Chain A
C-alpha cells in the first residue's frame, strides 16, 4: 500500500462506483467493510435496433449527475464523505466508457479523493463471489456483449472459453429483432424468447458449434433466422431449439472448464443468467458432477455500479489509486490481463 493512502479511510470509508460500459449508466456505493448502500441504474433503451454507442454515451452524459446524486441520497451520504471513486475502465463501448471515466475523473478531482479503474468482467465475478458467498468458482458470464467462461488459476482469472464471434445475448436479441418481436415496456428480448420457447414442442436441428472450449453463435443465429424467413416453422419451436442448442453449448463449455480445473462451484452471472432454462441446464450439469451452482441475483448480475464500487475497494487496498495518466479507457481489456492481488496466495492451479 502506498504511504500516501489515508489509513483511516481504509477502515471506514465509502467507494462510489460508476458503470458505463454499454447501455446502462449505473452508480453503486459500498462501504469498505462491504455493506451495499446504494444501487441506482439508468438504462438507455433505443427505440429501434441495438445500442448505438454514441447515442448511449449521450444518454449517460445526460443522466450522470442525477444518478450520482440519487445514489448518494439513497446511501444517506454527502459527496464529501466519499473516500474513493471507482469506474469501469473496460471492456466496453468506447464512447460509453469515456463518459463514465470523465464523470469519475471529475468527481474524484473535485473531491480530491483517489480514483480507481476496474475491469468490468472481473467486477461481475467479484460481486458474484461476494453476494453468493462463493469462494473459487468457474464463472459463466453471459450478456449482450460478453460470453466468457473464466476461473482463477495461478495468479489471475484465466479464460477457459469464450465466443469466437458474437455474444449469446447479442445472438438472442438479434434473433428477436429479425423475427419481428418488438420490445414492450421493460420485458427484455431474452425473456420474450424464453416465454415463446416454453410453448415450443418440436426440436429443429440447428448448428451446434463448440471448438475446444470456445463457442460460435453466428452460424446458429443465421440458420435460425433463415429458417424463420423461409417459413414453415413455428416461432415457438425455433425459439425452443435456439435456446436448447445455444444453452447446451454454454453448459458443455462450462462443464469442460469445471472438469479441467476440478473446481467445485459454478457461478452464473450477466443479463442472460436470468434465463431459467440456462439455470436448469447448469444445475443438472453441476449436480451430475457433484459441484454447486450459484446464480447471481438480478440486481447484481445485470450491469451495476455496486460491482464496480466493491471491486474498486479490493483493488485500491492493494494497488492504490490510478494516476490521471493511467486513467484512460480500455475498450478491449481482457480479464487475463488484470492482476488480482486480493486473491494472491490462494493455492489454485488449473493445470
Chain B
C-alpha cells in the first residue's frame, strides 16, 4: 500500500517476515538524465542505509533495516508508525512538547558529537511513536567533523521550524538547543551557534549584515 509519495521516494507499507515493514523506494526522476539519476538514486539508497546504522551506533533511534536493494533502489525497514512530529508538534501538551524538542536536540547533539551530519533535519523527518522519537531520511547525511557542517545542519533545523511552525519557531529552537547543549556542552553549542549566525549572514539570509 502506498503510504506516501515524497519528493524523491515512495513509501509503501507492506508485510514481510511476518511483520509490518516500510519499503522506501527511490523512484526514477524523468527530469534528470539517466546517468545522473541512476548515480544519485543508488548512492542515496546505499548511503542512507549505512548512515541509519551509524546513527544507531550514536544512540539515535532509527528504524531497523531488513534489506537494501540497489537494483530497485529500495530499503526495506521496520515500521515505526506514521506520526510525523510536524503534524502533532503544535498540538502536543506544552510539557510533552518541550520534552520531545529537548530530546530532538539531544539526538542531534549525539549525531554531531560522533561526526554524523543528518543533512535534512525537519520535523517531517522525525517520527513520534508512543513518546519515542525516530529519525528517518538519512539520504542527504554525511560524515564530517567540520564545524561548518554542524552549523548548516542546525541552521536547516531552524529554517524548517520557521517555515512549518512559524508561530513558535523561536521557542521550539531554544528547546532543541537546550538538549543539544546537554550533549555537546555549552562551549561547543556557543561555537555552533556563532557559526549559524555567520551562515545566516551569508548570501541573502538576513536583512542586516
Name B157's closest neighbour in chain A (CB-CB).
Answer: A212
Q: Which residues of B contact A90 (CB under 8 A)?
A: 207
Closest Cβ of chain A: how far from B170's Cβ, in Å? 14
* Cβ-defined partner of A259 (8 Å) among B6, B202, B203, B209: B6
Q: Which residues of B contact A336 (CB under 8 A)?
A: 162
List B100-154 residues whose CB lies under 8 Å from chain A.
119-122, 124, 140, 152
Asked if A159 contacts B159 (CB within 8 A), the reply is yes
Quick one: CB contact mask for A75-101 with B, threshold 8 Å, 1 for yes?
000000000000000110000000000
Q: A-B pairs with CB below 8 Å: how many? A: 111
Quick one: CB contact mask for B37-81 with A, threshold 8 Å, 1 for yes?
001100000000000000000000000000000000000000000
Asked if B121 contacts A281 (CB within 8 A), the reply is no
Query: Most chain-B Cβ atoms within 10 A of its Cβ — which of A146, A213, A258?
Result: A213
Query: Most chain-B Cβ atoms within 10 A of its Cβ — which of A91, A211, A212, A287?
Result: A212
Asked if A260 contacts B203 (CB within 8 A), the reply is no
Name A160's closest neighbour in chain B (CB-CB).
Answer: B163
Q: Which residues of B contact A333 (CB under 8 A)?
A: 207
Asked if B204 contacts A146 (CB within 8 A), the reply is yes
Asked if A330 contacts B207 (CB within 8 A), the reply is yes
Closest Cβ of chain B: how far from A249's Cβ, in Å? 10
Interface size class of A (residues with CB under 8 A): 35 or more
Which of A1-9, A162-170, A182-190 touches B? A162-170
Q: Which residues of A contact B31 (CB under 8 A)?
A: 248, 251, 280-282, 284-285, 288
A199 interface residue (CB < 8 Å to B): no
Asked if B40 contacts A208 (CB within 8 A), the reply is yes
Quick one: CB contact mask for A303-314 with B, threshold 8 Å, 1 for yes?
000000000000
A203 interface residue (CB < 8 Å to B): yes
A301 interface residue (CB < 8 Å to B): no
Interface size counted on chain B using CB atoms at 8 A: 41
Asked if A212 contacts B140 (CB within 8 A), the reply is yes
Closest Cβ of chain A: how far from B124's Cβ, in Å? 7
Given known A259-B7, A280-B31, A284-B31, contact A203–B36 (CB-CB < 8 A): yes
Quick one: CB contact mask for A281-296 with B, threshold 8 Å, 1 for yes?
1101101100000000
A205 interface residue (CB < 8 Å to B): yes
Asked if B36 contacts A165 (CB within 8 A), the reply is no
Given known A248-B32, A259-B7, contact A351–B165 (CB-CB < 8 A): yes
Asked if B30 contacts A334 (CB within 8 A), the reply is no
A256 interface residue (CB < 8 Å to B): yes
Asked if A350 contacts B163 (CB within 8 A), the reply is yes
A214 interface residue (CB < 8 Å to B): yes
Extra A-B contacts (9), CB below 8 Å, given A162-B205, A256-B8, A351-B87? A146-B204, A203-B35, A208-B40, A212-B160, A248-B36, A251-B29, A288-B30, A330-B207, A334-B204
- Interface pairs A-B: 3 shortest CB-CB: A281-B31, A259-B7, A256-B7
Binding site for B on A (CB under 8 A): 90-91, 146, 148, 153-154, 158-160, 162-166, 203, 205, 208, 210-214, 244-245, 248, 251-252, 255-256, 258-260, 280-282, 284-285, 287-288, 330-334, 336-337, 350-351
Binding site for A on B (CB under 8 A): 5-8, 29-33, 35-36, 39-40, 86-87, 90, 119-122, 124, 140, 152, 156, 159-160, 162-167, 199, 202-209
